[in-house]
Amino acid sequence: MMNTRLLLVVPVPFRVVDGRYGLDEQTCDGLVRWAEHFDRVVMAAPVLPEAESEELSKTETWRAIADLPCADRIELVPLPYAYKPIHYIRHYRKTRALIREKIQACELLCFAPAVWIGDWATVACEEAIRLNRSYAVWADRVEYEVIRRLLKEETSLKVKLKEAVTLPFTKKCIQQVIRQSEVGLFQGQDCFTAYSPLNPNSHCVYDIHTQKSDQISPTRLAEKLDRVQNHQPLKICYVGRAVEMKGALDWVQIIQQLHERGIKLEATWLGDGHLLDEMKQMAVDLGISDRITFGGFVSDRAQMLETMQQHDLFMFCHKTPESPRCLVEALVSGLPIVGYDSAYPRGLVEQFGGGIFTPIHDQTALADQIVELDRDRQKLGNLVQQAAQSGTLYDEETVFKHRSDLIKKFVVPGRVTVKCEAVAVH
């Protein structure tokens, strides 16, 4: 372990519960992994307003950072939550000065820029450039492209106008700080394809939180294969938020197509979101409410993986260039990933297979593929085995070591010029 401090500036917000700073459980797991590779981790992030924190608690588990085993080596730098222009302007100068202080105090820098207004990671990149400091950039989705695609489904004229004005500036700003970075760490092939032309030192990496012990056991895999070969009803699942970018309504409509075409199936959606009620009503209107189980948000990760291992395929309808962890969790669970095509899922199964992909938005094409798999159970069984093999490539320990090694290799340590002050974790 290097005797160095790593400064992370990220958009993932801190949440304050009973006076204690915390994060979602997966980000906390990531902090533990970072602390395995660096002497001290300084994390700067916005603090979520109380009202939004309460809403988020319905869809994410929260964990106090003080309870982590490495809490004594983690320093927190709370930043304003300032995505509204007036808030951003109000806090800009003071926050930029604080970020400058932390950059000067830490040897290694890794930032996750995403948007323009309110994004302190982008400000950190700009400040590092001013200070002639090398830094790594990390991205898990092409944010400006995500925004652009979701605008097509946005109903608020005010939001559409705002994004139409700011989106070109966001794109230009993000691309510029990526060009100036020492190394680009881009999760999955979608991000890598979009961003790697901007920086010759780009790497396709992953940010996942499955453990080696999560891999489906040979016994459970054999049980799944027996069920598939015995032509039991096809068990389809998805785990994620019920929102537009996940294609939640497409998912229900495809289940309806499969039902109409005589496929005996059992479908499960695990996850909450603002479209969940609409999904349930759509299932009722289409006459398939008895075919779909809406399990809601599952906070117990072991229970979630257990459910996934009991299904036959993972159907997804993602509509934006992102890198969702659920596809990795599916492979680890021996679940073939079958859904809308993009570079990210293709990259996940490139080596061993375990996925079938169809054109985005083409519900009929996706339904056709699933009908074929239901009729050809030998093909489905082979796909299950390939998915389980692909799942062995992805575990938290391995991917965090890879990212940490790249930062250590390419980011030139800066000189410590000031004492690093932060919120004590206790």
81: in domain: yes
Range from 15-29, 161-175, 184-198 carrying the lowest mean pLDDT: 161-175
Q: How many domains does the chain have?
A: 2
Same domain, 178 and 219: no
Integer Cα distance of 379 and 276 in angstroms: 33
Mean pLDDT score of the chain: 91
Contact 29, 396 (CB under 8 A): yes
Instruction: Please indicate, yes or no, if residue 425 is contained in any of the structural domains.
Output: no
Whether residues 217 and 232 share a domain: the answer is yes
Amino acid 284 reads V
Q: Is residue 256 part of a domain?
A: yes
Neighbours of 273 (CB within 10 A): 20
Determine the pLDDT at residue 55. Answer: 64
Mean predicted confidence (pLDDT) in 5-28? 92
Residue 347 covered by a domain: yes
pLDDT at res. 1: 40
Using a pLDDT cut of 90, give the percent of the chain over it: 74
Q: Is residue 8 included in any domain, yes or no?
A: yes
Question: What is the span of the domain harbouring residue 314?
Answer: 213-391
Q: Are residues 316 and 280 in the same domain?
A: yes
- Please check whether residues 258 and 153 belong to one and the same domain: no
CB 389 within 8 A of CB 43: no
CATH number of residue 239's parent domain = 3.40.50.2000
Q: Could you read off the pLDDT of 122-172 as tens digits, one per residue?
A: 999 999 999 999 999 999 888 888 878 777 766 677 777 777 777 888 899
pLDDT cut 70: percent of the chain above it: 93
Do 334 and 406 sit in the same domain of this protein? Answer: no
Sequence-ordered strand ranges (E) for 10-107: 15-17, 20-24, 38-46, 62-64, 74-79
Contacts of residue 106, Cβ cutoff 8 Å, sequence gap at least 6: 4, 5, 6, 7, 42, 414, 416, 420
What end-to-end distance do the CA atoms of the chain give, in Å? 24
Same domain? 6 vs 140: yes
